Amino acid sequence: GFDYPDRLNAAVELTDVMVAKGFGDHTALIGNGRRRTYKELTDWTNRLAHALVDDLGIRPGNRVLIRSANNPAMVACWLAATKAGAVVINSMPMLRAGELRSYVELAEIAFALCDTRLMDEMTACAKDSAFLKTVVGFDGTSNHDAELDRLALEKPVRFQAIDTAQDDVALLGFTSGSTGAPKATMHFHRDLLIIADGYAREILNVTDTDVFIGSPPLAFTFGLGGLAIFPLRFGAAATLLENASPPNMIDIIEKYRATVCFTAPTAYRAMMKAMDEGADLSSLRAAVSAGETLPGPVYEEWMARTGKPMLDGIGATEMLHIFITNRFDDHRPACTGRPVTGYEAKVIGSDGQDLPAGEIGRLAVRGPTGCRYLRGARQADYVQDGWNISGDTFVMDAEGYFHFSARNDDIILSSGYNIAGPEVEAALLAHAAVAECAVIGVPDDDRGEIVQAHVVLSTGAEPGEALTKELQDHVKATIAPYKYPRSIVFVSDLPKTETGKIQRFRLRQTRNG
């Protein structure tokens, strides 16, 4: 187990305590063309925390939403709000006002800190909100040229952090539920450290010489762990990219000789292609793949090119981070590996009973970092005896290794993003040309899966390329653009049950032949 003091503030552990341990001059964050040491990051977060408490009036337990792309300012705001005892909700920059509003309403969020470049949707979300009363801009480019930065600049560099308990909630992790309505899980201050002291230490052997790089948004706990908590816990450096396309990641890997990479198989494939044109990834000692299942051939190719394993793992926002993983000295193709120490995993049948090795069923997991849903209903359905029942089906082999089988719900996993089919359907149905539609995920070599919409048109609408483009643009303007259907198939009707329920599984079967 992990032994933390009763009074614990995770953000203080990742900043002030690191300075006290002698890491003050080490590089902590690199991003937007600047490098910041642990001392600079500590001072910055303390000033910001003063502004949040003294000027904005944030009190312990208040929920604070942060809206930003991955950059040092976002990390500083998250740490500052955590020092102030707030419960932080990190959100992705692509979210539209409607999606932000569903977060605000579910978590009754009163404060938002927003990169000024992303203010429009935030302001639209706050308009007439019963909950969100204070929206403050910060300068994501780190030039300190926004309201929150100006308030912080006048403040002292010492801040007496709020005396939080190790089991006070520090973070709400949001994910799309399978219907598109978001769900959130609560994570304690200690959970933020457990994922570092567990997975990052045990599996990745992180040290202060490591340089981290990766693509997942900090709003996704995969990114928050891999690109902020893990490096900061060990005195390592994190490189943060607002646009983590494979070419941009390659540039940074080469420039800073990055050693640990967190991304999805799609990006690894693109990076391997770039190796043929001379991309130098030789500095990477750990390539972590999660967010989508890692196809055997991608793992094999990485091994062949680098001589090192690509470490496939599965995590969940519910559990905060990775709980089943391969290891440097124990890895297999098309296999997710074994549980991280402290976590238990099993496969259960539709009746909730444990299934023997070799049988396909739903993956259930139990461990120190979850699962605690915000608001009651989901807890009863998806957490039984402490076991969180996931949306994935797996098989456990006779040796206790877990192998992914399929998703068990309407979530589509594309390039590491979780996309709820019903949410895309709702967006399409808001277009006058769409009478009915069903959205499924179809296999794709590059992205794992892509979103495919089967659309029945309203009378008078003309199928074709022009309408496909119009519907895609409409979805991009309605919900986060990464959710748009890359493929649209116009059909005359949809398969349905006798009671009129759309049978999406039939569309999937047709696809699979």
In the bound state with ligand 3SK, the residue whose beta carbon lies nearer, of 95 and 471, is 95
Minimum distance between the CB of residue 283 and ligand 3SK, rounded to whole angstroms?
23
Minimum distance between the CB of residue 440 and ligand 3SK, rounded to whole angstroms?
20
Say if residues 61 and 162 touch (Cβ distance below 8 Å): no
In the bound state with ligand 3SK, the residue whose beta carbon lies nearer, of 90 and 221, is 221
Minimum distance between the CB of residue 423 and ligand 3SK, rounded to whole angstroms?
18
Residue type, 272: M
Give the full edge-to-edge strand order of the sheet including 322-325: 34-37, 27-31, 237-240, 211-214, 260-263, 286-289, 310-315, 322-325, 338-339
DSSP-derived secondary structure letter, 482 = G
Q: Which residues contact 494 (CB under 8 A, 6 or more apart)?
A: 436, 437, 438, 454, 456, 502, 503, 507
Residue facing ligand 3SK at closest CB distance: 315
By CB under 6 A, name the binding residues for ligand 3SK: 221-222, 290-291, 313-317, 321-322
DSSP-derived secondary structure letter, 157 = S
Name which of 410, 426, 436 is nearest 474 in CA terms. Answer: 426
Give the 3-state secondary structure of residue 72. helix
In the bound state with ligand 3SK, the residue whose beta carbon lies nearer, of 92 and 428, is 92
In the bound state with ligand 3SK, the residue whose beta carbon lies nearer, of 151 and 200, is 200
Minimum distance between the CB of residue 401 and ligand 3SK, rounded to whole angstroms?
17
Both tokens assigned to 9: 């503030």
Give the 3-state secondary structure of residue 268. helix
In the bound state with ligand 3SK, the residue whose beta carbon lies nearer, of 321 and 362, is 321
In the bound state with ligand 3SK, the residue whose beta carbon lies nearer, of 137 and 217, is 217
In the bound state with ligand 3SK, the residue whose beta carbon lies nearer, of 111 and 404, is 404
Minimum distance between the CB of residue 216 and ligand 3SK, rounded to whole angstroms?
8
Minimum distance between the CB of residue 184 and ligand 3SK, rounded to whole angstroms?
13
Q: How distant, in Å, are the alpha carbons of 68, 87, 102, 126 from that of 97?
A: 14, 21, 9, 8
Rounded CA gap, 357 and 290, in Å? 23
Minimum distance between the CB of residue 226 and ligand 3SK, rounded to whole angstroms?
8
